[in-house]
Amino acid sequence: MTKRLTCDVVVVGAGMVGAACALYAARAGLDVRVVDRGPVAGGTTGAGEGNLLVSDKEPGPELELALLSARLWTGLAEELGPAIEYEPKGGLVVASTPGALAALRDFAAAQRTAGVTAQPVEADRLRDLEPHLAPGMAGGVRYPQDAQVMPALAAAQLLRASGAVLHTGRTVTGVLRTARGAVRGVRTDRGDLHAPAVVNAAGTWGGDLAALAGARLPVLPRRGFVLVTEPLPRRVRHKVYAADYVADVASDSAALRTSPVVEGTAAGPVLIGATRERVGFDRSLSLPAVRALAAGAIGLFPFLERVRALRTYAGFRPYLPDHLPAIGPDPRVPGLFHACGHEGAGIGLAPGTGRLIARTLAGEAPELDLTPFRPERFDTEKGGTP
């Protein structure tokens, strides 16, 4: 092959994860292009809340990635702070019953051993932190490392900061490979882009992109509705949610589970989200879903009962069967790297993911062990984690 290369890396996907991959790859000295069939932040990124959470993660590889990302977000915020509406507001997880509180405290204790700052809050101090919180809660845990960004702005600003050439509205139709099977670029509906490395940051469509390269990656969509209220003064100060959220993330249930995270935003509206339903790519309004969100939010903050919702939107969170993302090189297709399947945590986990990808692209050792995230892990007989 003597074809001239377009660039060093093609990142497929102009969402939050693609933007972070582009940024850190560019900062590693690579010439990067980003291609997306839609606009910037047109998929999950544009339909999320912007949660940067460590509080909902149990000790393990995802938490390590979240902690790495939280540190990186702090640096990004110093560069881009107001432009991405970064707010290190902290999380407050509450429990309504003594039983739930005991489970929450145990969970927090384990998190602390993994490096999470988790501060128990007695029932009578909850309203010091959140004056409008419903009375009668059993207690809670405060997580100062939880933070917030405006996800679409964050993706757009990171892409801009990366200096990468951006091709939006351009669909990847194939992955170009050498006779020996290595990646040599992508084919798009508007010409080929040649590069020795391709990063799959296609989110919910990551499985489709992997398939174009002949690799199996079982990414599935999980629907989430978010409610947005009228603009309010800052009445909700933290990211506040009920303790059953933790159990819900790893749930395999296809039924609707209520676990609203309630939070104020820099722009004024309160965000309430998100539901988690496995219904494929169905975007149509589900009143039972928004009903559950509204009821859950009012349960936490009774003043919300008379506050009006201006809109609701649905997004699709990409997940893999073991609820861990796929990050790193694909041994089945040399030159193909995956950075997708982050479920509802992609905004928070993006910088860490981008950094790990950039390190491996540059041939350096990544900060974290990539074994739990390896993309070929579903090739075993049963499909689950071997």
Say what the alpha-carbon torsion angle 181, 183, 184, 190 is, to the nearest 10 degrees.
Answer: 120
Q: What is d(CA 260, CA 258) in angstroms, rounded to the nearest whole number?
A: 6
Number of residues that bind other proteins (CB under 8 A): 49
Listed residue (344, 343, 373, 342) closest to 356, CA to CA: 373
Are residues 31 and 8 in contact, defined by beta-carbon separation less than 8 angstroms?
A: yes
Contact residue for other proteins among 113, 284, 363, 386 (CB under 8 A): 284
User: What angle, rounded to 10 degrees, do the helices at 61-80 and 346-361 form?
Assistant: 90
Pull the structure tokens for residue 43: 């998929």
Identity of residue 140? G
The sign of the dihedral angle between the CA atoms of 10, 16, 22, 25 is: negative
Residues 294 to 323 in contact with other proteins, rule: CB under 8 A:
294-295, 297-298, 304-313
- The helix (H) or strand (E) run that includes residue 356 is helix 346-361
What is the smallest separation between the CB atom of 116 and other proteins, expressed in angstroms?
A: 29
What is the smallest separation between the CB atom of 30 and other proteins, expressed in angstroms?
A: 20
Contact residue for other proteins among 127, 291, 331, 369 (CB under 8 A): 291
What is the smallest separation between the CB atom of 339 and other proteins, expressed in angstroms?
A: 20
Residue 331 as a binder of other proteins (CB under 8 A): the answer is: no
What is the smallest separation between the CB atom of 284 and other proteins, expressed in angstroms?
A: 6
> What string marks each residue from 140 to 179 as x (binds other proteins by CB under 8 A) or -?
------------xx--xx-xx-----x-xx----------
What is the smallest separation between the CB atom of 305 and other proteins, expressed in angstroms?
A: 4
Are residues 258 and 245 in contact, defined by beta-carbon separation less than 8 angstroms?
A: no
> What string marks each residue from 208 to 247 as x (binds other proteins by CB under 8 A) or -?
-------------------x-xxxxxxx------------
How far lies 162's CA from each of 26, 44, 168, 354, in Å?
6, 21, 15, 12
Are residues 199 and 11 in contact, defined by beta-carbon separation less than 8 angstroms?
A: yes
User: Given the complex with other proteins, which of 34 and 326 has the nearer CB atom?
Assistant: 34
Contact residue for other proteins among 14, 77, 242, 350 (CB under 8 A): 14
Q: Applying CB under 8 A, which residues contact other proteins?
A: 14, 39-42, 46, 131, 152-153, 156-157, 159-160, 166, 168-169, 227, 229-235, 267-269, 272, 284-285, 287-288, 290-291, 293-295, 297-298, 304-313
